[in-house]
Amino acid sequence: MIAAAVSVQATTNPIYTTLVLLVAALVVEAHGRRTLFAKAFPIMIGLAAVFGAVRVLLTVLTTHATGSTVLFRWPYEFTMPKVVGGFTIFGSFEQEPLVRSLFEAYAVVAFIATFAAWNAVVSHHEVLRAVPRAFHEPALVVAIAIAFVPSTIATLQAVHLADRARCGGTPVRKGRLRRYVIPVVEGGLERAIALAESMESRGLGHSRATREETRAASLSFIAIAAMGGAIVALISRARLAAGTLAIASIAMFVSATIVASRAHPRTRYRPKPITKTDQVIMAVCGISVATMLMFSLLNDASMSWSPHPLSWPSVNPVAVIALLGLAAPVVSRRVHDERHVQQTTESKAEGPTWVH
């Protein structure tokens, strides 16, 4: 997922972006699990497309550059006051901003597709089992949060049905947000309290965390935050910031692992070892992304494409082969074989007062 996302961001060539998008779809087709997250793959792409369309619309209505090819002129135009930017809305409708914004929207769709594909194919509990022991607690928090997603969606559907039932089958929009939000939030809180009771009853925190584990947990939280920042910077094409944050994140992950390894070892149920196949896939994907980054740094002509003047993007066969390498998971055995699994459907309060 990271290799594909970085590859999308390393290039402005729409052919390469299309290849990454196709690889994501191929991986989902080959390994998609019958879960809510797999169903969300087309929805996330659709949402990204809507976001992109809005972006294109705003761009073409507000961007007017000297020397651009004017496709047509709107019959009217408005120039905003200087205090709000002084830009012009409507006026000329130009080809270059249109094509560039279309490509940028397309790149956003491909970027989101890589994340959607990851969510569609991974088993989150297997990720939990595969992470180093130092990251067990943060990974557990994420796993629990993910487990809440299906029930929250089910609650939303139940609220929608109940709202229509109450209004005789006809939805009433007025005040609907409150009628939707309160039951979902209150229901979620009730479930969270029950879950907290259940986890405590099942021994969560039975053994106190050692000093090393606490330090490792802090370092891993910082690492996750840095990785998040790197992704945001990557989307904004702030490559230096993205690289710095990514390196910091990796350093924190390594430090957390070293610190945690000094703590008393804790047992885990069926930890998932990284197999040779996994290593090969990771290596192939690593080579793919490294190749793309290298071409980007070497300013390979095929890596960047400009709509001005409008022309077909060039293609480097080596880059194409590198991108096809991202499809390595397709030819592998499923990470978690579910062929035989028939899926039928898819506060703490203040302390007590003890009286003696």
Partner 1 sequence: MGSLTFDGVTFQYRDTNALALEVPHLGVDNGEFVLIVGASGSGKSTVLRSINGIVPHLTGGTFSGSVTVDGRSTRDNPPRLFADAVGFVHQDPEAQLVVDHVESDIAFALENLNHDTTSMRRRVEEVLDALAIAHLRDRSPATLSGGERQRVAIAGAMAAGPGILVLDEPTSQLDPQGAEDVLAALHRLNADLGTTIVLAEHRLDRAAPLADRVIIIDEGKVHQDGLPEVALAQYRGAPTVTQLGRSMGWSPPPLTVKVARNYARTYTTSRPPDVATASGPARITVRGLDLRYGDRTVVRVDDLQIAQGEIVALLGRNGSGKSTLLQALSALHRPHRGTVERIGRVAYVPQDSNPLFSTGEVRTDVMETLRLLGHSAKHPDAERSANAWLQRLGLIGMAHRNPRTLSGGERQRLAIAIVAVGGAETLLLDEPTRGMDAPSRDALETAVSDHAAGGGSVMLATHDVELAARVATRVVVLGDGDVVADGPTRSVLSGSLFAPQTLRVLPPLLTVEEATMWARPR
Pick the closer one to partner 1 by CB: 144 or 254: 144
The yes or no reply on residue 203 touching partner 1 (CB under 8 A) is yes
What's the Cα-to-Cα distance from 9 to each of 58, 112, 256, 304, 341, rounded to whole Å? 22, 11, 28, 11, 37
Ramachandran class of 210: left when φ > 0, alpha when ψ lies in -120 to 50, beta otherwise: beta
Torsion of CA 96, 101, 107, 110, to 10 degrees: -120
- Of residues 102 and 217, the one with the C-beta less far from partner 1: 217
Rule CB under 8 A: which of 29-48 touch partner 1? 35-36
Does residue 353 bind partner 1 (CB under 8 A)?
yes
With CA atoms as reference, report the closest residue to 48 among 78, 8, 11, 93.
8
Stretch that binds partner 1, among 22-30, 56-64, 65-73, 348-356 (CB under 8 A): 348-356
Residue window 204-243: x/- pattern of binding to partner 1, with contact defined by CB under 8 A: xxxx------------------------------------
CA distance from start to end of the chain? 59
Q: Note whether 339 binds partner 1 by CB under 8 A.
A: no
Question: Which residues does 236 contact at the CB level (< 8 Å), separation at least 6?
Answer: none
Cβ distance to partner 1 smaller for residue 84 or 355 = 355
Question: Smaller CB distance to partner 1: residue 67 or 265?
Answer: 265
Pick the stretch among 4-12, 44-52, 99-107, 120-128 that binds partner 1 (CB under 8 A). 120-128
Residue 244 token pair: 């710095």
**Considering beta carbons, is residue 298 or 341 the nearer one to partner 1?**
341
118, 20 in Cβ contact below 8 A? no
Token pair in block for residue 356: 């003696």
Name residue, tokens 């929207």: 105
Whole-angstrom CA distances from 321 to 287, 292, 303 are: 11, 10, 14
When binding is defined by CB under 8 A, the residue of 50, 172, 321, 331 that contacts partner 1 is 172
Q: Which of 100, 97, 90, 101 is nearest to 68 (CA)?
A: 97
**273 contacts partner 1 (rule: CB under 8 A):** no
Structure tokens at 347: 């506060």
Report the SS3 class of residue 79.
Answer: strand
For partner 1, the binding residues in 284-323 under the rule CB under 8 A are none
Q: How far is the CB of 135 from partner 1 (least distance, A)?
A: 14
Residue from the set 50, 182, 258, 280 that interacts with partner 1 by CB under 8 A: 182
C-beta of 244: minimal distance to partner 1 in Å?
35
The single residue among 82, 273, 274, 350 that binds partner 1, judged by CB under 8 A, is 350
Contacting residue, 43, 54, 65, 199, with partner 1 by CB under 8 A: 199
Apex CA 82: angle with CA 79 and CA 83, to 5°? 125
Which of 77/200 has CB closer to partner 1? 200
Q: How far is the CB of 183 from partner 1 (least distance, A)?
A: 5
* CA dist 247 → 184, 226, 242, 329 (Å): 39, 9, 9, 26
Q: For residue 147, state whether it binds partner 1 (rule: CB under 8 A).
A: yes
Between 75 and 352, CB nearer to partner 1? 352
Q: How far apart are CA 78 and CA 89, in angstroms?
A: 5
Beta-carbon contacts of residue 113 (< 8 Å; ≥ 6 apart) = 20, 21, 24, 25, 41, 44, 45, 48
Q: What track of x and - describes contact with partner 1 for positions 249 through 268 (by CB under 8 A)?
A: -----------------xxx
Cα separation of 183 and 177, whole Å? 10
Cβ distance to partner 1 smaller for residue 141 or 310? 141
Told to check if 196 binds partner 1 by CB under 8 A, we report yes
Among 67, 81, 168, 273, binds partner 1 (CB under 8 A): 168
